[in-house]
Amino acid sequence: MKEEKDLMTKDPESEGGITSGYQMNDGVKLKVPYSFFGSIYDQEEEKALLAVLKQESQTMGPQVTLFQREFAKAFDVKHAFATSNCTTAMHAVTQVFGIKEGDEVIVTPNTFIATSLVILKEGGKPVFADIDPKTFNIDPAQIESKITDRTKAIYVVHYGGQMCDMDPIMAIAKKHNLLVLEDCAHAHGATYKGRKAGSIGDIGCFSFHSLKNMVTLGEGGMITTNNDYFADKINRMRVMSITHWSPEQTHWEFGGHQLDKKNNLDYWVPSHFDVIDDDGKWGNNYRMNEAQAAVGRTQLRKLDMLIGKRRENGHYLNEGLKGIKGITPTFVDPNCFHAFHLYTICVEPEILGASRDEFMRVLYQEEGIQGILHYQPSYHFTGLKKKYNYPDKLCKNAEDFFYARQLNLPMNPRLTKEDLDMMIEGIKNAANKVRK
């Protein structure tokens, strides 16, 4: 018990590393730490969990069915399919898209490695298009020049809760007959010109990781689509390629065994399920359990409130940080309803007179405000460079953004006005200190 308590209080990173916590235990006294829990739990989640403990079905049961139905309605799509996390959701979709060895997929470099990893797993090559330096999303103007006769799809990421400029992206996709996946891991509650994340591209994928705008016990995901053909395949790809036997068929022969369904009532004939491949692709166990789904349903009912708090925090910080020389607050695209999954400031070294790292060091060590960085350009990771020999300086805006400019401040719906004011004051003080 002591060891368990020590892990919970002294080593919150444990085996998850950066994916589960960011406490350094380095003696720095923090005023506002970066929390790795992005939502709010209360008695509703407790009640939902207790109810699931009394169910017979513990996975892919009634809670999952209801969660999918309610999520589809809330996000204005025909179909929603729950998964174990967003990475497995995107992997299933990559299989549904038929991505194979030699295919190319255009993707942003400013994203978690999962967005590229699912392409690599199917033998495809991620082709990186640079980002817009204001929104940090993939720049539609950079996409078309990357298209070749091997390009099969475009994977966009709605960074920080602000959606990409989807109209020109969809126009490019239509012109070149490409599929579009929306990585909506940051975008619960976000809209673009009134349309919801996950409803514009061919397929959307959401995350319910503990950092996100709504969470399902640490992990969880959802796939959304309006395409009936894709929906049929998605349903198999996340559940080991399992399907039903033809309901019209009443007679089978397997290895000399004659099987007959009497009056269509023998549920065990010929067996409980069939397994098929989809154009050579095989599914996996990417299911969501009932406890996650039950919590997800309560979180979905709270989503407007959770996003409302994030937006209040984001706009308060924007107002408070306005006018600090060398510090650029988060840009809000007037076409978008920003969900503020992340709150990103940019340090402008040539104006501030100091580097981002110098500023961040003072902000952390002297002002007690903990920031984190998102995201190292994916093509810089050892595995990708080894496989495809991506050149340095492939995407200038993305590299300048990560290595020289960006910093994410604490952002969650539990932040108080005191927390926000301490962040604003800390940034002002740190800017003055490094400027001197």
Say yes or no: 270 and 327 in one domain. no
CB of 54 closer than 8 Å to CB of 78: no
Say yes or no: 213 and 349 in one domain. no
| Structure-token match 């894709």, residue found | 230
Say yes or no: 62 and 167 in one domain. yes
CB of 115 closer than 8 Å to CB of 127: no
**Mean pLDDT, rounded, of the chain:** 94
Say yes or no: 364 and 423 in one domain. yes
Say yes or no: 152 and 194 in one domain. yes
Predicted pLDDT of residue 329? 98
**Residue 25's pLDDT band (boundaries 50, 70, 90)?**
confident
Which stretches of 54-163 are DSSP H helices?
Answer: 62-74, 86-96, 114-121, 140-143
Say yes or no: 173 and 290 in one domain. yes
For residue 5, pLDDT over 80 is answered with no
Say yes or no: 221 and 340 in one domain. no
Tell me the backbone φ, ψ of residue 322, rounded to 5 degrees.
-60, 135
CA-CA distance, 143 to 53, in Å (whole number)?
49
% of residues, the chain, pLDDT over 70? 95
For residue 139, pLDDT over 90 is answered with yes
Say yes or no: 79 and 217 in one domain. yes
CB atoms near residue 15 (< 10 Å): 8
The count of domains in the chain is: 3
- Among candidate residues 27, 154, 16, 131, the one with its CA nearest the CA of residue 374: 131
pTM of the model: 0.94
Say which CATH number the domain at 77 has: 3.40.640.10
pLDDT in tens, 245-283: 988 889 999 999 999 998 878 889 999 999 999 999 999
For residue 19, pLDDT over 70 is answered with no
Say yes or no: 181 and 215 in one domain. yes
% of residues, the chain, pLDDT over 90? 89
Predicted pLDDT of residue 17? 66
pLDDT in tens, 196-240: 999 999 999 999 999 999 999 999 999 999 999 999 999 999 999
Give the end of a domain, one of 261, 295, 329. Answer: 295
Say yes or no: 97 and 136 in one domain. yes
Say yes or no: 167 and 27 in one domain. no
CA-CA distance, 344 to 329, in Å (whole number)?
7
The residue range of the domain holding 196 is 43-241+278-295
Say yes or no: 13 and 74 in one domain. no
